[in-house]
Structure 1
Amino acid sequence: MQDILVERLKKPTPRYTSYPTAPHFHDGIGPEQYEGWLKALAHGSTLSLYVHIPFCDRLCWFCGCTTKQTNKYKPVERYLQSLYREIGTIGRLTGSRAKVNALHLGGGSPTMLSPEDFERLRAIIDAHFEFTANAEISIEMDPNDLDEDKYDAMAAFGVTRASLGVQDFDERVQAAINRPQTFEQTREVVDAMRARGVGSVNLDMLYGLPHQSLETIDDTVAKIIELDPDRIALFGYAHVPWMKKHQKMIDETRLPGVKERFEQASHAARLLAENGYHSIGMDHFARPHDTLSKADKSGALNRNFQGYTVDNADALIGLGASSIGRLPQGYVQNTPSTHDYQRRVDQDGGLAVVRGLELTGDDRMRAWLIERLMCDFQFSSSELTSRFGACANSVISEACAIAAADEDRLFVQDCDTFKVTESGRPYVRTIAAEFDRYLKRGTGRHSVSV
């Protein structure tokens, strides 16, 4: 029965880190609109900053991020000058009306930055933004970039959470994705960050990789458990070579099929649960003490472009090439080209937005509903009505029809509440897609949902 479900429900769907999703952004939103939206932020607003460093010194073939390989530091230095200018521009536009409660450094490999540039970046951010007392500062790390001076620089920067990709510890799998990384290297990073007072460590693991098997999953999970991370993200490898050309380096004949992917995900999830990790959403796990677990239990879990999060800021400000921002009025995205980003920031007033989307009332309602499905696996029709008024009636009718037509009972109605059942949770992306009014317009291609 499960094999039949997997085969039927494997269709490509978004990961719903936003709604509407990025393929539906358009070039009708530019710097002018963005400037107006920033100036309109209310006094007392909270901000989340995402800083994108789009460089790596080695290109991992599985990667779905917007990044480019460089073996020289000069392009990074040049890029940082434009990044500093964008930070200054946005800081002046938001003024003293808002405070930062989260900062995330992503990539690419932000750990490529020199210790001196870590210090400079923090100084420039501090010159233009004020942080709340308990702001979370997180960074994505590549063990191959690191040494003692960089560990010290990240500690001085104020990092509170370190995120480290593991993928799979099997050497054959690593060779097939061009990501050599030993267990000893990984342990060294975890120990070094904890020794410097970083309170939370996150490890990312992938399933669905070439040559991966239940045996490699067993070994990788066992080693991850030995490192005792506070959080674990268990992502399915998204094979999208039409978007990420370097993925063509991966031998598709060695990729597991959809049935094997499902078995790998289920097996890893079971092992993590047996070792005391609380399951969160569709692909995260955390120790009971972690803030993500606490948010999940209290109904305060959120989802944004970084995945599941406790971040509830009023606005997400994307800084750097290709970064996406979310404001009360809608979404904005910077140009993905580092060259074009630098030109626009340096010559066109300090902003590099080239596309986005202004939210309608229906967008906001469906965004809330989809986020609650992705986070809580349920939503209340009365809360939907309380938030969005009579407009909610049409969506509630849709939900009733979807539940009534679901003979597999993956999505059901229970009085006031619509729920994704336990057996439906692996397919939550497919269920959420039923409420996506943009998906059927045929814009954008996505990875399989299983």
Structure 2
Amino acid sequence: MPRYTSYPTAPHFHAGIGEGDYRNWLAAIDRDKPISLYLHIPFCKQLCWYCGCNTQVTNRSSALSDYVDALLGEMALVRHAIGHAARVSSIHFGGGTPNALSPRDLERILVALRRQFSIDAACEIAAEIDPRVLEGEWVDVAVANGLNRASLGVQDLDPRVQAAINRIQPFALTERAVERLRKAGVDSINLDLMYGLPHQTTETIARTIADVLPLRADRFALFGYAHVPWMKPAQKLIADASLPDAAERFTQQSVAAALIVEAGYVQIGLDHFASREDQLAVSSGDGRLHRNFQGYTTDEAEALVGLGASSIGRLDGGYIQNATRIPEWRDALAEGRLPVARGIAVSDDDRMRRTIIETLMCSFRVDLGEIAARFGLREGAFDTEIQNLRAFVDDGLVVLRDGRVSVTERGRPFVRSVCAVFDRYLDRSAGRHSRSI
């Protein structure tokens, strides 16, 4: 089932979208509105077998420095295509392992960003961090250049689970990383947890949560492991027999969520949690929550520009994805070309359905009548979808009243399946997806 971090979702991107489309979409960016930037760092020191990210293992500093050289070139090309120094309200470093970069290479990127774009004074600058390879100098350079939010991978602290996913990370490493970041001045810290991992049980995840709660993270993310070995060969090293079945996955998710909420956090959407004073919780309560490729976010920028191999961007005209393989990405840049590999143009129908799906994912309810009026649709435009929701109503997962769709508390774990009712692409997909829980 798609995660619905975009609509249409990435499996429907195609090679018919090219550099010309991307240049036109970049040139159309409104200079009066802020944009977001996503920078993909596709390198890790060690491969975690569960990982679904586009990344590769290297311990050669020269490989990362060469990558940064090309990344700086891409920034310049994008800035030229936009035609002005676009305002930036959010910057996210993803991976891979952004803290695999040397402090010098990290500083080169951050300095170049300020040279090519107009970075808002209140810009959120976030990075995904692997506590196992976090060094003090890296933290100092990052914070000196504006890093104010960090997301640390934890997954599960049980030694057997860690061995099964090839990620040995004792609690002390996570604790030290959190302390180091807070001491340096990082305002917001998120911890990533997972369920559905090999040999994981409700007991192991409960112990993990009990261990990490005293760290007083501002946010938690609780993701289900997606076992897709036909897409990610490293996952073939995880034995199918070691994975929990659907009922156990559901129990793990339910228990973990309940423990985090009992500790005083507010559940945000499907899989995020935040302290009550955190901006994510405030935005959720105000109806201003959004969802993008990084999950739930307070970022209100309409345009997201992706930089780096395999990165995805969202613009008014549609979505684009850069070449996934680093050599192809680098070759395009060396030739002065934006390294577009595929994408999809969005229609008014796509925008309308994206609005419905994002609203459901963020607030678990949507007024179809209001959506129809906003997009100039005829009365009864959603009759087919409403009929297809009847099964969810019968199961107590959805309430339908006068065109308003509300996902019940019981139905929230299945919200992706509810969203799929509005997905016109899903039935035409030839691909396979991970299960919804």
Q: Against the structure 1 CA distance between its residues 201 and 67, is the aligned structure 2 distance closer, same or farther, given a 3 Å change threshold? A: same
CA distance in 1, matches of 2:374, 2:258: 37
C-alpha displacement at 1:96, in angstroms?
2.9
Matched, 1:178 2:188: no
CA distance in 2, matches of 1:214, 1:36: 50
C-alpha displacement at 1:133, in angstroms?
2.2
The aligned runs of 1:249-398 (5 Å cut-off) are 249-347=237-335, 349-390=336-377, 393-394=380-381, 396-398=382-384
Match of 1:56 among 41, 44, 55: 44
C-alpha displacement at 1:415, in angstroms?
2.9
CA distance in 1, matches of 2:257, 2:221: 10
Matched, 1:422 2:409: yes
Whether the aligned pair in 2 keeps the contact of 1:404 and 1:412 (CA below 8 Å) is no
Instruction: Give 5+ residue unaligned stretches, structure 2.
Output: none
Q: Indicate the SS of the match to 1:16.
A: coil
Q: What is residue 190 of structure 1 aligned with on the other side?
A: 178
What do residues 341-372 of structure 1 show as CA deviations (whole Å, max 9, x unaligned)? 1001111x241011100001111111110111
Q: Indicate the SS of the match to 1:105.
A: strand
Bigger mean CA offset, 138-147 vs 333-342: 138-147
Matched, 1:79 2:67: yes
Match of 1:402 among 388, 398, 406: 388
What do residues 138-197 of structure 1 show as CA deviations (whole Å, max 9, x unaligned)? 000012222221111111121110100100001110000001111111011101111111
Letter in 2 for 1:63: C
Whether the aligned pair in 1 keeps the contact of 2:106 and 2:142 (CA below 8 Å) is yes
- RMSD of Structure 2 on Structure 1 (CA): 1.2
Match of 1:103 among 91, 110, 124: 91
C-alpha displacement at 1:439, in angstroms?
0.7
For this pair of structures, how many residues does the alignment match?
436
What do residues 197-235 of structure 1 show as CA deviations (whole Å, max 9, x unaligned)? 110000000000111111111110011211110000000
Q: What is residue 7 of structure 1 aligned with on the other side?
A: none
What do residues 360-391 of structure 1 show as CA deviations (whole Å, max 9, x unaligned)? 11111111101111111111123202321125
Q: What is residue 120 of structure 1 aligned with on the other side?
A: 108
Instruction: Give 5+ residue unaligned stretches, structure 1.
Output: 1-12
Q: Against the structure 1 CA distance between its residues 146 and 392, is the aligned structure 2 distance closer, same or farther, given a 3 Å change threshold? A: farther
CA distance in 1, matches of 2:239, 2:386: 43
Q: What is residue 169 of structure 1 aligned with on the other side?
A: 157
CA distance in 1, matches of 2:158, 2:399: 40
Q: What is residue 8 of structure 1 aligned with on the other side?
A: none
Letter in 2 for 1:73: S
Percent identity, please: 49
Bigger mean CA offset, 33-42 vs 160-169: 33-42
Q: Against the structure 1 CA distance between its residues 260 and 52, is the aligned structure 2 distance closer, same or farther, given a 3 Å change threshold? A: same
C-alpha displacement at 1:392, in angstroms?
7.2
Q: Indicate the SS of the match to 2:192.
A: strand
Q: Indicate the SS of the match to 1:317.
A: strand
Whether the aligned pair in 2 keeps the contact of 1:206 and 1:237 (CA below 8 Å) is yes
CA distance in 2, matches of 1:313, 1:16: 18
C-alpha displacement at 1:397, in angstroms?
1.4
What do residues 87-108 of structure 1 show as CA deviations (whole Å, max 9, x unaligned)? 1111122233631000000000
Bigger mean CA offset, 409-418 vs 310-319: 409-418
C-alpha displacement at 1:132, in angstroms?
1.6
Q: TM-score by structure 1 length?
A: 0.95
Q: What is residue 24 of structure 2 aligned with on the other side?
A: 36
Matched, 1:412 2:433: no
Letter in 2 for 1:33: D
Q: Against the structure 1 CA distance between its residues 92 and 168, is the aligned structure 2 distance closer, same or farther, given a 3 Å change threshold? A: same
Q: Indicate the SS of the match to 2:375.
A: helix
Letter in 2 for 1:309: T
Q: Against the structure 1 CA distance between its residues 26 and 275, is the aligned structure 2 distance closer, same or farther, given a 3 Å change threshold? A: same
Matched, 1:17 2:5: yes
CA distance in 2, matches of 1:392, 1:97: 43
Whether the aligned pair in 2 keeps the contact of 1:38 and 1:93 (CA below 8 Å) is yes
Bigger mean CA offset, 368-377 vs 381-390: 381-390
CA distance in 2, matches of 1:126, 1:386: 41
Match of 2:430 among 443, 446, 449: 443
CA distance in 1, matches of 2:148, 2:169: 23
